[in-house]
């Protein structure tokens, strides 16, 4: 069993925080009360785990495949998960610091994403990976599919590509978000304008925050491949930390401006702290 799968299994342990199972029933009643529970959203291909009663036989008869009718409310009450798979996420300063033991940003992001997925599955939530082309699912098969999609997902852009999703759906974006603020703003604004709620979690390496190096250091870019030589790194540490903090504050401001939430996590700190904070935000949002 891989590290990601092990952590997902651990998050399903009976000793973990219990998820209210009545939540989906309450939300279903609320949706029905405003008349949107039966609004047709789309047909999607039948997937293992779907109840046979959900198959639309008339639509399926038009082809050699089985199709399920999905309502607008079902799709809206789903969570689309995304993690940054760009080259910058493969960085870990632990290779360069004596006694350091922390994972790459990508490993930690995937750990958090799958662990969060397992908690959502326990609560009966429907979920999928953003950009996968796979419709949201619930149950254990949803968790298995997420793990499979992550394992075979190659390197990608540092921000998610926009795709049309049902209004009021929820997004969880996990990455380092080191792109220029205007680029991040364009991405989030487009999703928010489509009526989507979102949660951002910035994952950073401790060296990206503290710049703990001393002396003459050559820094090589991971994505643009440029190199910069700094004679005395310690002389710029304070200014660097200020710029990094301003970038983070800019991310928080962008998220807040569109009604999204923003959090951050360092790879040298326990992952469960970020996981529980993110899950608490999702749980609070689902009760609104």
**Residue ranges per structural domain of the chain:** 3-22+77-286, 36-73
Question: Can you give the pTM of this predicted structure?
Answer: 0.74
Instruction: Kindly report, residue by residue over 206-218, the tens digit of the pLDDT.
Output: 999 988 888 887 7
Q: How many CA atoms lie within 13 A of 147 on its CB side?
A: 19
What integer pLDDT is reported at residue 191 of this predicted model? 96
- Taking residues 190-219, what's their average pLDDT? 90
What pLDDT shows up at residue 288? 58
Output the CA–CA distances (angstroms, integers) from residue 260 to 52, 119, 167, 192, 263, in the order listed: 37, 21, 14, 8, 10
The class level of CATH for 3-22+77-286 reads alpha beta
The predicted-structure confidence for 60-86, as pLDDT tens digits, reads as follows 787 878 877 665 444 446 899 999 999
Is-contact 150 129, C-beta < 8 A?
yes
Separation in Å, CA 92 to CA 82, 101, 275: 20, 9, 20
Using one digit for the tens of pLDDT, what is the confidence trace for 153-167?
Answer: 666 789 999 998 887
Beta carbons within 8 Å of 55's beta carbon, 6+ residues apart: 46, 66, 67, 68
* pLDDT at residue 228 in the model: 80
Q: Which of 18-22, 107-111, 189-193, 204-208 has the lowest mean pLDDT?
A: 18-22
- Pairwise pLDDT comparison (279 vs 71), residue with the higher score: 279
Q: What's the burial of 134, exposed, middle or buried (CB within 10 Å: 0-12/13-18/19+)? A: middle
**How many degrees, rounded to 5, is the angle at CA 144 between CA 30 and CA 68?**
50
């Amino acid at each position: 069993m891989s590290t990601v799968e092990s952590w997902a299994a651990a998050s399903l342990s009976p000793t973990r925080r219990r998820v209210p199972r009545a939540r989906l029933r309450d939300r279903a009643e609320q949706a029905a009360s405003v008349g949107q529970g039966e609004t047709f959203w789309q047909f999607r291909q039948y997937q293992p785990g779907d109840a046979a009663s959900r198959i639309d036989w008339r639509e399926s008869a038009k082809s050699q495949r089985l199709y399920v009718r999905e309502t607008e409310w079902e799709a809206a009450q789903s969570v689309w998960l995304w993690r940054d798979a760009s080259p910058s996420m493969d960085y870990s300063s632990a290779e360069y610091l004596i006694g350091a033991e922390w994972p790459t940003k990508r490993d930690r992001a995937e750990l958090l994403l799958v662990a969060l997925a397992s908690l959502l599955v326990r609560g009966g939530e429907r979920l999928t990976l953003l950009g996968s082309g796979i419709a949201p699912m619930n149950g254990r098969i949803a968790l298995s599919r997420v793990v499979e999609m992550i394992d075979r997902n190659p390197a990608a852009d540092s921000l998610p590509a926009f795709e049309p999703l049902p209004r009021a759906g929820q997004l969880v974006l996990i990455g380092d978000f080191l792109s220029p603020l205007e680029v991040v703003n364009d991405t989030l604004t487009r999703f928010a304008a489509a009526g989507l709620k979102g949660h951002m979690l910035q994952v950073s390496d401790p060296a990206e925050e503290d710049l703990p190096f001393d002396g003459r250091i050559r820094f090589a870019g991971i994505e643009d491949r440029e190199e910069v030589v700094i004679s005395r790194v310690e002389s710029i540490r304070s200014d660097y930390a200020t710029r990094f903090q301003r970038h983070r504050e800019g991310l928080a401001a962008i998220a807040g401006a569109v009604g999204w939430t923003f959090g951050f996590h360092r790879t040298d700190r326990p992952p469960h702290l970020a996981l529980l904070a993110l899950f608490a935000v999702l749980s609070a949002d689902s009760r609104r």
